[in-house]
Amino acid sequence: MMTLPRLLAATCVAVLALAGVAGADGTPLGGTVGPGFTISLKDGSGAAVKHLDPGAFALTVDDKSDEHNFHLVGPGGIDVSTEVEGIGTKAFSVTLVDGKYTFFCDPHATRMVGTFTVGAQAIEPPPAPAPRRLVLTVTSKAVTLTTPAGKRVGALAVGPAAITVRDRSATRGARLRGAGVSRTTGISFVGTLTWTVKLSAGTLLYTSDARKPLLPGGRVAVS
């Protein structure tokens, strides 16, 4: 049973929270955490917040669990949170500036976490993909395509690839075609060379030179 001071305190908090909601200047944002392992931040229309314009926001957090909390951190010195043990609604007035913000539950920060951006983001150019390194090996019996560690290649991403070709046979060559690639070693070539290719979407076939019967090879989807 609630003691009178506790009841008053609880009422007071509820009233303050409501006053905060009504009185806080700014665009409404709603944070929710719990009762399960869920955390979310939604805008006034109920959509998950991914990006906001900078400005003043009235953040209302509904903390539905005494095992979780809602903690928002980011640029402009923003660091507001509910208490893990506490349950209830809490209002915060926050002024958000350009940058990336993170909201999370402190005890479960790796699985209960979300991010959003505010304002103009510096557009980072996508990093140039490092060429994928592959090894194409030709023996008198088969043609294989593997990683440098010798693992069979299951699928490949579109982009540059540096293929080390190891031709062990003086009577067979290697052929690579499809996915924007058409390369072959000579039948009599023996040795190691590197092909730098640009893979496009499609199917990359690796087999021997045209001499029949073709050696067992394979195909890899590129996407």
Report which DSSP code applies to 144.
Answer: E
Q: Binding marks (x or -) toward Cu ion, 161..200, rule CB under 5 A? A: ----------------------------------------
Does position 64 bind Cu ion by CB under 5 A?
Answer: no
Q: Does 215 interact with Cu ion (rule: CB under 5 A)?
A: no
Shortest reach from residue 107's CB to Cu ion, in Å: 5
Nearest approach in angstroms of CB 75 to Cu ion is 24
66 versus 79: smaller Cβ distance to Cu ion:
66
- 142 Rama sector, left if φ>0, alpha if ψ -120 to 50, beta otherwise: beta
Give all strands (DSSP E) within 159-201, no chain letters. 159-167, 174-178, 181-184, 191-199
DSSP 77: T
User: Hey, which residues between 108 and 127 contact Cu ion (CB under 5 A)?
Assistant: 108, 112
Quickly count: other Cβ atoms within 10 Å of residue 78's Cβ. 19
Query: Should residue 58 be labelled a site residue for Cu ion when binding is judged by CB under 5 A?
Result: no
Torsion sign, CA atoms 79, 84, 89, 90: negative
Among 41, 80, 96, 105, binds Cu ion (CB under 5 A): 105
Q: Is 61 in the site for Cu ion (CB under 5 A)?
A: no
Part of the chain binding Cu ion (CB under 5 A), chosen from 17-25, 107-115, 120-128, 164-172: 107-115
Q: Segment near Cu ion (CB under 5 A), from 19-27, 55-63, 98-106, 206-214?
A: 98-106
* Residues engaged in binding Cu ion (CB under 5 A): 68, 105, 107-108, 112
